[in-house]
Amino acid sequence: MAKIVVADYDPAWAQAFAAERERLRPAVGDAPVEHIGSTAVRGLPAKPIIDMVAGVEDPAACIPPLLEHGYERAEWGDFGERLFLRRRSSDGSVTHHLSLTTVGSSYWDDHLAFRDALRANSELCERYATLKRDQAAEHEDIDAYTRAKTALVRDALLSVGHRPRSGWAAEDA
């Protein structure tokens, strides 16, 4: 297993997202594409992978054009209401994650609510940054790293009046 890298915030992440959103327009049309995850929060350290979610009417229909745009289906991550793809650089490293779901799905709502909670609360952002760095140092398994963050994510969502509905943050909510 590879070491989990959590890098200091890079302002270039916002530009990388904007460029990729435009590059994806032929594949997703006018569907909203949002920057999610830690790279979407100014000042927050993150795995240096741009996380995005596209709110499309028919996620499966977007797969063929996204494959033509350099995306691949991930061997993990598809569940229920979302399809998951990733894009790699020429050296094979993952540069982008793209989740396809419908606007208003639990995945859509939970991820945008958590991003917005982090953007609005610097203390939460600091707690999350510390947790991410600690868990990255402790785990090489990305699933264990992600599970270790679930309680904070759930509590953050509940604190802003958002009841998590997706499996990502809904445990024991």
pLDDT by residue (tens digit) across 22-80? 999 999 999 999 999 999 999 999 999 999 999 999 999 999 999 999 999 986 655 66
Which candidate, 58, 112, 52, 62, places its Cα nearest to that of 86?
A: 52
Give the pLDDT mean for 131-147: 92
Q: How confident is residue 142, by pLDDT bands cut at 50, 70 and 90? A: confident
Question: What local confidence, expressed as pLDDT, does residue 65 receive?
Answer: 97
Residue 7 has what DSSP assignment?
B
* CATH classification code of 12-159: 3.30.460.10
Domain ranges for the chain = 12-159
